[in-house]
Chains A and B, each alone.
Chain A
Amino acid sequence: MAAAADEHQPSETPPLLLVHRLPRFKLSFFPFLQTEYTVLDPLADPPDPSFPDLSKSARIMLCVGPTPVGSDELDRYPAVECVVGSSAGLNHIDLAACRRRGVRVTSAGDAFSDDVADYAVGLAIDVLRRVSAADRFVRAGSWPVQKEYLLGSKVSGKRVGIVGLGSIGSRVAKRFEAFGCTIAYNSRSMKSHVSYTYYANVVDLASNTDILIVCCALTNETYHVINNDVMTALGKTGIIVNVGRGALIDEKELVEFLVRGELGGAGLDVFEHEPHVPKELLTLDSVVLSPHKAVFTPESFAALEKVVLGNIQAFFSNEPLLTEI
């Protein structure tokens, strides 16, 4: 009856909210927290003397950014009943460990989906039409000297293959349809409410695709789902866009394929060991490189704040969580 006990708490004591974050993720992401809740931050500077005791009673944890939450963290904070996620992905949270302990988990829901989908399309157009490379060409003063720039590759009407037709993938599909592209996808299971062609196998999808968009969740099953076979199937005229997680692609293979020209190009917002980017990619014009920023817009962060706050409020009011996974 912990919930009932909360309802009878004196109003001067805001509910405890445990914040779990890597040092590089600042609390300034969620400015409203300090007024509404008693924020417990293990990285507070100077250290909060009440933290060791109070943290043992905190019932809700806000996980800022992709900060790992596993058995160790859950053991450290035994009273936690709910982990509020704030990232598009959830691969940093040990969902099985949470389930075993009856700890509920919420995601960012759709807060980022439009921005990530937009970014995926932007990266695809950039790779095929050489936008960033041509922009560099102009800024280097090369246009008056070299007169012509290289031809790009048409985007409209191409075959788009989406790995992961979730909240982001379905928005990517809708956008590309307006370019006259045909859409096909691979997902854990076929979606009966869509008319796009389903391929149970990513290699088959890649064989019938010109633009492969990777936007699925990273799990044990999807680790390196984009491998040598998939890249071979995609071929010299195919391109990959990754707005999911770096580890969805076998990065070493990807670099080889790109350097040898056996893959047409790639637009990458994520990498296996961020912020490290394989140096061979830094000089290729067939790639567009991005520092994991597909969600970095004030609009996405405002939407995220709403979802995070909404979930926290729902938890303390005993109402259904907004985006429980």
Chain B
Amino acid sequence: MFGFFQYKQFGWWSLILKTGSGFQDFITPTEMENVGVLMTCPMSAYLEQELEKRFTLFKLWENPSRTEFSARYADSVKAVVGNTKLGADSALIDSLPRLEIVASYSVGLDKIDLNKCKERGIRVTNTPDVLTDDVADVAIGLALATFRKICASDGFVRRGLWRNGDFKLATKFSGKSMGIVGLGRIGSAIAKRASAFGCTISYHSRTKKQNTNYTYYSNIVDLAANSQILVVACALTEETRHIVNREVIDALGPKGILINIGRGPHVDECELVSALREGRLGGAGLDVFENEPDVPESLFGLENVVLLPHVGSDTVETSKAMADLVVSNLEFHFLKKPLLTPVV
């Protein structure tokens, strides 16, 4: 974006000076505007706007079918912008022969066929760091809302029940033991916040982290057995699919709560629902589900769960920062500059 603003001020000659890479790498503004970018689904009106200013934007959802879209536009598409709902799977990549880059409006990469991208030399970028704080804030917000029954008691007041008597006791959050699955950027940010509440922190990760004092468990069941709050904050891969299974849920137990701000498939949702309904698990704060936007209806009547529609990074501030990062990565790619946040 920065590069493009300078271009508009000083004319297209400045692009040669800026890139400094010679005449052969020069891209005219018209060429940039003709670059086809395919957005997979609605994710941000601001992002659509910014992409439309710079590129030719195709919206997959406005086309009657994928095959029709491919037939008409496939050769024009050099970039795909996807997100956690719809990324760039093998079929989509195969249908776009001129595809050069996939810029994901997310930090999670589970909806992108990374191997295929590597094979075809397609670049991939995501949006790390800008959303770390927001997701960590939601994790803590979910833990507080679940333990302290904030949502349930808000409903109690709205339904006029306070007149008849007090709400029941909730459970203290401060000082509880928190186990974090995945101590990456988001996991560490959650740990930092929880520590300020006097929580003791332990974690499970693929490997032990060298520069931390938190207790490490090489086995997630042991982590769950020693935690009152289990937070899922790792990436979704083949290894971590259903990492929170019946055994882990049982180890967490009737006084434990599960917080999931990772991906729905991290948790065996059927087992989770049974455990909650049968009182084998104390509660759950969930931002993600296996089949979004479908949420098991049997959770709707429970007071010990908090259910969010995948809003971990959905703030005005972060959405803009994520969109800006997507746009910058695309611009830099077509200007042959180093990508800001490449994954592949």
Residue contact B141 to A154, C-beta cutoff 8 Å:
no
Q: How far is the CB of B56 from chain A (nearest CB, A)?
A: 25
Q: Which residues of A contact B134 (CB under 8 A)?
A: 154-156
B23 CB within 8 Å of chain A:
no
Residue contact A129 to B311, C-beta cutoff 8 Å:
yes
Instruction: Say yes or no: A153-B315 contact (C-beta < 8 A), given A122-B148, A139-B307, A179-B137.
Output: yes
Q: Which of B150-173 contact A (CB under 8 A)?
A: 150-151, 153-158, 160, 162-163, 166-173
Residue contact A297 to B133, C-beta cutoff 8 Å:
no
Q: Which residues of B contact A139 (CB under 8 A)?
A: 300, 307
Instruction: Say yes or no: A132-B172 contact (C-beta < 8 A), given A122-B150, A148-B42, A291-B166.
Output: no
Q: What separation, in Å, do the CA atoms of A282 and B42 have in the docked complex? A: 32
Instruction: Say yes or no: A125-B151 contact (C-beta < 8 A), given A151-B315, A178-B192.
Output: no
Q: Which of A153-178 contact B (CB under 8 A)?
A: 153-157, 174-175, 177-178
**Beta-carbon contacts of B180-203 to A below 8 Å, as 1s and 0s?**
000000000000110111100000
Chain A interface: which size bin? 35 or more
Residue contact A291 to B319, C-beta cutoff 8 Å:
no
A222 CB within 8 Å of chain B:
no
A293 CB within 8 Å of chain B:
yes
Q: What separation, in Å, do the CA atoms of A144 and B160 have in the docked complex? A: 29
Residue contact B133 to A154, C-beta cutoff 8 Å:
yes
Residue contact B173 to A132, C-beta cutoff 8 Å:
no
B342 CB within 8 Å of chain A:
no
CB < 8 Å: which of B140, B160, B172, B309 contacts A297? B172
B86 CB within 8 Å of chain A:
no
Instruction: Say yes or no: A152-B311 contact (C-beta < 8 A), given A125-B144, A126-B141, A290-B153.
Output: yes
Q: What separation, in Å, do the CA atoms of A178 and B181 have in the docked complex? A: 20
Residue contact A291 to B315, C-beta cutoff 8 Å:
no
B75 CB within 8 Å of chain A:
no
Residue contact A135 to B174, C-beta cutoff 8 Å:
no
Residue contact B145 to A122, C-beta cutoff 8 Å:
yes
Residue contact B197 to A118, C-beta cutoff 8 Å:
yes
Q: What separation, in Å, do the CA atoms of A148 and B41 have in the docked complex? A: 11
Q: Which residues of A contact B311 (CB under 8 A)?
A: 129-130, 134, 149, 152
A23 CB within 8 Å of chain B:
no
Residue contact A134 to B308, C-beta cutoff 8 Å:
yes
Q: What separation, in Å, do the CA atoms of A282 and B157 have in the docked complex? A: 8
Q: Which residues of A contact B195 (CB under 8 A)?
A: 178
- B297's closest neighbor in chain A, by CB? A141
Q: How far is the CB of B157 from chain A (nearest CB, A)?
A: 4
Instruction: Say yes or no: A175-B145 contact (C-beta < 8 A), given A154-B316, A298-B171.
Output: no
Residue contact A288 to B154, C-beta cutoff 8 Å:
yes
CB < 8 Å: which of A130, A131, A154, A174 contacts B150? A131
Instruction: Say yes or no: A132-B145 contact (C-beta < 8 A), given A152-B311, A291-B157, A298-B169.
Output: yes
Closest 4 CB pairs of A and B: A122-B144, A178-B196, A125-B141, A156-B133
Beyond A122-B144, A141-B297, 18 additional pairs, beta carbon < 8 A: A117-B174, A126-B144, A126-B151, A126-B154, A130-B311, A132-B145, A137-B309, A138-B309, A143-B295, A144-B294, A148-B42, A153-B315, A178-B192, A275-B162, A275-B163, A282-B158, A290-B154, A299-B172
17 A-B pairs within 8 Å (CB atoms) are namely: A115-B172, A117-B174, A118-B148, A118-B174, A121-B140, A131-B142, A135-B307, A138-B300, A141-B297, A144-B294, A148-B42, A178-B193, A291-B166, A296-B168, A296-B169, A296-B170, A300-B172
